[in-house]
Structures are given as structure tokens and as C-alpha cells.
Amino acid sequence: MSFPPLVEPADELTIDEVRRYSRHLIIPDVGMSGQKRLKNAKVLVIGAGGLGSPALLYLAAAGVGTLGIAEFDTVDESNLQRQVIHGVSDIDKPKGLSAKESIAEINPYVNVILHEERLDNDNVFEVFRGYDLIVDGTDNFATRYMVNDAAYFLKIPYVWGSIYRFDGQASVFAPSMADDAPCYRCLYPEPPPPGMVPSCAEGGVLGVLCASIGSIQVNEAIKLLAGIGEPIIGKLMIYDALEMEYRKLKVRKDPNCALCGENPSVTGLIDYDYFCGAISEEAADAAADSTISVSTLEHMLKEREEGTRDFVLVDVREPVEYEINKVPGSVLIPKAEFLNGSALEKLPGVDEGKQVVMYCKTGVRSAETLAVVKGAGYADAVHVGGGVVAWVNQIDPSQPAY
């Protein structure tokens, strides 16, 4: 199903712009009219990271006249494996500024607007207003639901993408463009249980996957802005990079959707952190009085070496993470083994009185395993706040971070 273009055409293209966009202009479906629409378009890209990087580069190269960048983070060395809009000289620079400078090299005719604050309920409407389209490159569920809801209330279509390891997804959510068009909540009515879906920082992502999904997002953005082709509204694109397989699934509008359904229960912005939950209630309760710092752990390890203290230190990350860095004297028992119960066989018996201390990358997974261990009777078990990231930053900077 085709849709009318989101944007009216600009008055004209300059001679320089005609030369620059000539390969677009000779495509019958785009032509002079389509390129003028792109020139007149205002697109907000949320995030200048894995998906935002290729999206911003190709939107700028395509001639989108105004690009907004919502990004508050700074460039880290670990970003460069996939966030191709940044370079070595940009490390520690604000990502939004780095992206703006790269865009200026690609297309000086693009106007870039930086939104360098973290999106939240207080500013999301103000940031979104005035844009014709949103390209969502966020990497967490709380922000995705907020983007979906805010875009729905403002009647702004948006192009969504998601990546993890070798798998990617993309869709267009635009209830304002068609009565039967679904929103993100129609596809995912509820977020996954806390701790069930690792982030890219925990699970990793193949760098080139970002380009695959980001380019799909830009393709859909151009179609929507120029009114060409058939956007994937009501469809979900699924890409498996290992099998080199694309699938397209139908996504129907849910009449019971909490946001766009017949009797909506979400009529305004909500507490998205609470809705999604970084960790489960059980993990939060377990960690409330059982979280130690890395400096405390360092002191405990010295006491263990001196023979004045005895405990078992457990790393609950994956084996590939354990190969990158670790706290000395730890044993590896991945989180999945705690969830299926097999890890308890590898721990000292409850009656032995040996304390169990657990850590992961940042403290989220170890909090989840702490709840399991405490439930099994290890009342004095603790986990390390900040995980191995804090250990490397504060105690042993000779180890690599990731």
C-alpha cells in the first residue's frame, strides 16, 4: 500500500545540489520532485550509535535538509567497531558533535540540530515537535516505549530498528497515516522480563549488522518522505546475518493495544523505567542490603590471601567475556546455570558457612543470580556493584575494558 509523501517539495534545487544529487534525479520514482521533498524534510535521529551512525550518514548523503540528532553520550573506543560516523580522533568527544562534524564533511547543505540531553518525559515532546519523521536507533526498552508513545501522541511516524549479535529487526510505526497501522506496543505489548534480553554491551553485536539495519531504516525514511514505494507499515523485517536470510512478517493493529487500541489505558507518558524494569523486583530486594563495592572486594581478596577470610568469588558472565578480563581468584559460572539450578551444585554447601560473592559486567546479572542464591539459603551472599567495569576502572586499569 502506498502513502502520500510526508513533506511538500522545496522551491528549488541549486545548481550545486543538482550536480550532487544527480543519481537520484535520474531515478523516475524520485526525480526532481522527490529530491526537493528530501531537501525540505526534517528528520530526527535518536542516537548516534550503532544504528544512528549509518542512518545519519545516508540521510545526509541523500540530501535530507534538516537532521536532528538526539544524543547525550560521548565516543568510547569500543564504539568504533560499529559506530562508523566516529573516528579515533573523536574518542571522548560528545557523539552528537562528532556526528555533526562527519555530516558536514559528507554534505555541507544539511542543517544539523543537536539535542545533547537525555530524552525523558520532561523534554521528549519539545524535542520531537517540528520534525516530519523520527528514526529510532535506541538500544533500551524504556526509551523505545517512550519514543513510541510520544510519537503517537504527536502523530509523527517513526522508523524503528533493533540489533543484537547477528540478528536485526526493522519496521515503520505510523498510526497517524492509516487507521489499521500498528504501533510498537501492538508488536510488543509488554517489555521482556528484566534480565532476559541482554543489551548489546552485554551480548555484543556484529558491527556490519548496524549498517544492514540502519540502511533499511534510511530506505524506509526516504520512501515515506518522498511518497514512493510501499513502506513497511504493518510489517516486520527480520534479518539473520548468519543465515543471510530476510523475512517479512505481518504486524496487525491490536484492538486491545494499551496505546492505540479501542479502549487505551495509556493516555499520557508513563514511568518507563518502572514499566520496563532494569532488574526484577526479586533482584532489587536481594541486592538492597547485599551489594559491596570493588574497593571492599579488593580488601576481602587481601584477607583471603592472608588466610583470615574465606569466600568463593563467582563470575556470572559468559565464557567469552571471562577471556577479556576478570577479577583474579574468581571462578566462572554463567548466569544461565543459576537460572536452571545447575550452578548450585558447583557452590559450597550452605552448611559449610563459606560466603558466596558474585559479579558480572555492571552488576545487573549478578543481582539476578544473587536472588537465586539467597533463595537457596545462602543468606550472607553478596554481589559487587559496578561489576568488572568498576574493577577495571578503579582497581586494575591494566586490564582491557569492553
The residues with which 314 forms a beta bridge, in sequence order, are 331, 358
Catalytic residue, candidates 186, 210, 260, 360: 360
Question: Measured between alpha carbons, how far is 357 from 335 in angstroms, rounded to an integer?
Answer: 13
CB-based contact 96:121 (threshold 8 Å): no
Compute φ and ψ for 292, nearest 5 degrees: -115, 160
Angle at 257 between CA 256 and CA 260, to 5 degrees: 120
Catalytic residue, candidates 200, 257, 260, 276: 200
DSSP-based three-state secondary structure for 281: helix
> Does residue 200 carry a catalytic annotation?
yes
Question: Measured between alpha carbons, how far is 195 from 184 in angstroms, rounded to an integer?
Answer: 21
CA–CA distances in Å: residue 112 to residues 6, 137, 326, 344: 20, 17, 42, 54
Question: Measured between alpha carbons, how far is 260 from 178 in angstroms, rounded to an integer?
Answer: 12
Angle at 144 between CA 50 and CA 361, to 5 degrees: 60
CB-based contact 217:55 (threshold 8 Å): yes
Nine cell digits for residue 3: 502513502
Question: Measured between alpha carbons, how far is 321 from 165 in angstroms, rounded to an integer?
Answer: 14
DSSP state letters, 78-120? GGGGT-TT--GGGTTSBHHHHHHHHHHHH-TT-EEEEE-S---
Question: Measured between alpha carbons, how far is 181 from 251 in angstroms, rounded to an integer?
Answer: 9
Q: Cα torsion for 348, 354, 355, 357, to the nearest 10°?
A: -50
Nine cell digits for residue 32: 526532481
CB-based contact 106:95 (threshold 8 Å): no
Catalytic machinery residues: 200, 360
